[in-house]
Amino acid sequence: MAKSMYLLWGSGSCPCWRIMITLEEKKLQGYKQKLLSFEKEEHKSKEVLEINPRGQLPTFKHGDDIINESTGACLYLENQFKSQGNKLIPDNPAEQALMYQRMMEGLTLYEKLNLVAFYDFYAPEGERHDSALKRNKDNLVTELQLWESYLENVGRYLAGGFSLADVVVFPSLAYAFRYGLSAGRYPKLAKYYSLLKDRPSIKATWPPKWFQIEQRSESLKDI
């Protein structure tokens, strides 16, 4: 089945990483793939736009079926390959409710990280305000403290066993620590990150450009 899949992706993109972790977990290795460069604007290339009119990565096909939205693709892959690889949506109602809740909240976490780490990208010169950046930072602190509290009473993962909640949330946290987030101020998040980073599906899909030391950033160190 994996041979009929095609993923166009960018290194360091959390949404791309979510699909790649899911493909590993579902034992769908061997899919066709192409690494594109955001810097060279390859996500706006003809090949991408023909599959994905939004010109974004990931861009993903399974046979003729197109599912570019990363969370949608993870849900689709789990549903299509339920009995293959690891189960990523728990059957138990309480765990399932928590899984969907954290999975969707993970999109809010990602958005709030972006609004700080990439503030200058979202607000062009002439529209930037210290007050707005400060508000974004305050919102991110509140968000991260909420996730600290979520991790207070759970085990290793966010909702029972490893699930789509972890698939969606982990890349954002990896990116937060990569961008300088303090392990001291967010010890539960740091522990979660450190426990999951060596999981085979995650190691196998680690963003290649993160192996280059010069790609590190400190834009979240004061959060």
Please report, as ranges, the residues that interact with its own copies according to CB under 8 A: 53-54, 62-69, 71-73, 75-76, 79-80, 89, 93-94, 96-98, 100-101, 103-105, 107, 123-124, 126-127, 129, 131-132, 146, 149
The position carrying tokens 């960018």 is 10
The position carrying tokens 């620590």 is 177
Using alpha carbons, select from 10, 29, 116 the residue that is nearest to residue 70. Answer: 10
Q: State the CB neighbour count (10 A cutoff) for residue 28.
A: 20
CB of 126 to its own copies, least distance (A): 7
CB of 153 to its own copies, least distance (A): 13
Indicate the SS3 state at residue 159: coil
| Closer Cβ to its own copies, 1 or 206, answer by number | 1
| Closer Cβ to its own copies, 93 or 184, answer by number | 93
CB of 58 to its own copies, least distance (A): 12
User: In the numeric block, which tokens belong to residue 200?
Assistant: 């085979």
Sheet architecture: strand order including 59-62: 32-36, 5-10, 59-62, 65-66
CB of 83 to its own copies, least distance (A): 15
CA distance 62 to 68: 10
